A and B are shown apart, each in its own frame.
Chain A
Amino acid sequence: MINVRAPTTSSNPRVRLENVSRRQFLRSAAAVTAFAVAAEISGLEPALAYETGGAQMPHGTVNDPHVFVSIDSSGIVSITAHRSEMGTGIRTSLPMVVADELEADWSKVRIVQALADEPRYGNQDTDGSRSMRHFLQPMRQVGAAMRQMLESAAAKQWAVPLSEVQASNHEVLHRPTGRKLTYGELAKAAMDLPTPQLEALKFKPDNAFRYMGHGNVPIYDLFDITVGKAQYGYDVRLPGMTYAVIARPPVVGGKLRSFDAMEALKVPGVVKVLELKVSWAPPAAFSPLGGIAVVATNTWAAIKGREALKVDWEDGENGAYDSAAYRQQMAEAANKPGRVERTQGDFDKAFAGASKVVSAEYYVPHLAQASMEPLVATATIRNGECEVWAPLQYPFGAREAFAKLLELPIDKVKVNVTLLGGGFGRKCQSDFAQEAVLLSKALDGAPVKLAWTREDDLHHAFYHTVTYSRLDAGVDSSGKVIAWRHRSVAPTLFANFKPDPKREQAIELGLGLADVALDIPNVRVETGEAAAMTRIGWFRSVNNIPHAFAVQSFIGEIAEALGKDPKDVLLEIIGPPRKLELDKLGLTDPLWNYGDPYSTYPVDTGRLANVVNLAASRANWGRSLPKGSGLGIAAHRSFLSYVATVVEVGVDSQGKLAIPRVETAIDCGFAVNPERIRSQIEGAAVMGLSNFIGEISFKNGRAEQGNFDNYPVARIDNAPTNVRVHIVPNGSDVPAGGVGEPGVPPFLPALCNAIFAATGKRIRSLPAGDQLRV
């Protein structure tokens, strides 16, 4: 889930992070866990700023407490959550950071969801596992600034030196006299103070954290979720609202020839049928596909009305999209030289001189995000102003699109972000919400909810790309891998934004292809040509899934060919602890590095090897297992975090797969909310299994799967339910990495390596289908 756009020049100088100081030592693990409620915070530390890519994102970061915090006279602290909640817990975790630095009592904190307003809040594009990475420091600054404003207000009221007062647990104490003022009593005076200078801020030491690093704060919406009161996009209701569904062209780029609405209009509850006219042409970004909208008094009537429509579509050139034929073309491209993306040493010479060679080809199909809440948006236009309620990962981009569609100034467009019933990248694209806006406009501004069915969701996704890989390795007589070539063929998601480049672009190469740590002297990474014949989009972990599947499966195959332990070979290929030197990788394009500075987030092989060893030791790697059982291992750096997974499988005599245990180690830098990190990693294993069994395939340009009956996802009976998560302890000086996505990529290859260990069967092509059947 990565977005790319032109670099912004509008980053607010007020919020520029300065590299004030950089600690040269690593904090010990013990200090992180030394939780003390009454911790002295008189030993406040200076700002520990490290540089992130946050400032380079559109509208950068904002750290003004007046923007994010308000306190009322009863002491209730309202903290604004400006990122979208789709299940990662970020709507809780970032306000929790503020509350911690603010010395606020969490029971007196209320969370307010921000409108789409990046000039006010900074970047709100919730993707790329970036929220904590980019906003941990600004949110600490917000909390620290407000704490110091409360202390200043108290010192002023008591007419004492600032050095004699201290904020702690929702009140400010005058140390010499023991006098106290509550945050409620100080609220007005504190809120009226100007924001302190960044340089003047003091931050809590790690051992004084109440919430950060502890996982003791449940998600804010927990109670509401369990009683059915949490409000998702699908739950929005406006007075006088109608409900609509759209019949869209079944092939991307298809056009309407004609339609007949007579039968549809006879369906009870259907009030109107109209054409949603768009001029869809590539590169179309997130433009809606157009189609015929059926408007009704409830969702069911709209669905029945759509079933009664007669529509004739012109498919256009993507009508030729056929996954079986396309796979053949990709295989051909992977078997001839491609564009060189990385080259070290001389692969051809080393490979020709190798005493042993290993080659393999891998295939990962299209997948659909299939969040449990299908796409939905509600819109109305009143008195020249548009208001939208929708589950959006990128709400400000959506707001800009609505303003453009309606030719309204952006301040006449208001976008409310609901809870997202899952996102996984699909809700980055605002096509569905643009449909609602267009529809409301066609209905003279009347409020309308545009709902997608599950079939719509699977037929009109921005799909995970499809990837064909070929890998070749040469080994010398001592058993060391001396040559490595990885050819990757996949249509690019950048075909949405520019004339189709027909190969993976720099950002996609940075998703676990060009940036792989290989202690091998002769390396070549190439890409082959593949034109996009459907809309490719962001899918949790994106190209890291096929890249890690190929690389980590292939390492397992090399180990097999050499008769060595797969973990040992993995560690040999990762090599000794070092930070990869970019200028020695022979990269054609600069390394993207997830949009963050390499100096802050280098490829650190020591950290990668550490998670390998941690996961392996927790899994008792090397233990003997009964026949039909096996362990598999894989490790991958993505979204600037390091994850290794050991999967244990059992495959019975009928070929039925069981996953009794998964051990995953993650090093994501400072672990701000360990409890939500665990839940993300547990869920990543489940999604990893879904990626093993699911496929979206195309025939005559149409997605062949339409619901969970033919697009299977993991269920409680086959999903791993014994996932143990091991978080590498780090102090807050170790830059936070991503969490939402990095757990997914190593799961698939670890699983397939385990299946190989258990059965001797190597699964190189997904979905697994009946490959395990005996």
Chain B
Amino acid sequence: MRRIGLYIHIPFCVKKCNYCDFYSLPHSKEKEELYISALCKHIEKEKHLYDNCEFDTVYIGGGTPSILSKSSVIRLVGAVKKHLNTTQGGEFTIELNPCTITKEKLLTYKELGINRLSIGVQSANDKELKCLGRAHTSKEAFEKFNLARECGFNNISLDVMFSLPNQKISDFQKTLDYVCGFSPEHISAYGLKIEENTPFGKNRDKLSLPSEDEDYDMYMCLCDTLSKNGYEQYEISNFSKRGYRSRHNMKYWLCQEYVGFGPSSHSYFDGVRYYYDANFQKYIDGSSERIMETVNDAETTLADKMDEYVMLRLRLSDGVDEGEFFKAFNKSFLDEYPKLKDFLKNGYVVHQDGHYSFTRRGYFVSNYILSEILH
């Protein structure tokens, strides 16, 4: 049986955050109805493609999936389970925005077999939350976290952000301490990146952003603090307690297969990468087309495949395993990427037990290094 991942995109938000450039729309009850119907239809229409597949991870992301009403979630998960072969007890994640969480919804998730929550906490500082345009306070976020625990969730991930406008390293340290105090199983931490076409992007000049050095120090502080608190850094931005890596996200980095539903969702299936246009109307009309990013497996060159493999694996603390690389491509890793040696000398990359991986310092300049070593 082919084990693959399932991603479902929910393109609604209570309010768009100032930094966010993912595809989402203002929410309404009517749009939600239409959208859930379209998703269910879409899944049913395509189910035959996945006859021989088993979905061992499901991830409902957004947008804000927790904005969906109880009945919508029931319909959606019902359709998934009806049409697709999902693994009993497989990882099943939903993303939550604290301001939309209710006890009723949490209990529904539980009943439906959703067993992992990802909560966008972002900061323990209300000024920072306000600046980011988040519609919740830090107190609310952690109350909701406790509520989730009460409802029996024992695999919860919290998202935090750093390098925020006016943020000092001591501010970020407070957020980290606060988050660790709740002892979530998993933490994702992203440095703020200013994207074009966001409120932040348009007011870039007015933002007082931390310097590169402060940014670097915050990242080191992040890695140190979480390590001290028993979290393993298994990816550039992801940390977990033992046994709690995000299995769904791991598929992205291990070049494993996943299929997405919903506008702007991405898929990698049968050696082809494609996505659905970020167009809501088209999607509910059922006229959304797959936009191909790679035409077919055969036309992707070996060098491209190796580059993709290396680019993704090096995000992981496990890095590239020489033996596995040889098995996958019948080539020696170092022969293909000889420039990597320069970075070994300088302490940006380490070689341990047959694995090549970035050090913390290396992670933080990984684009620079990748652009040097890739074909």
A and B interact: no
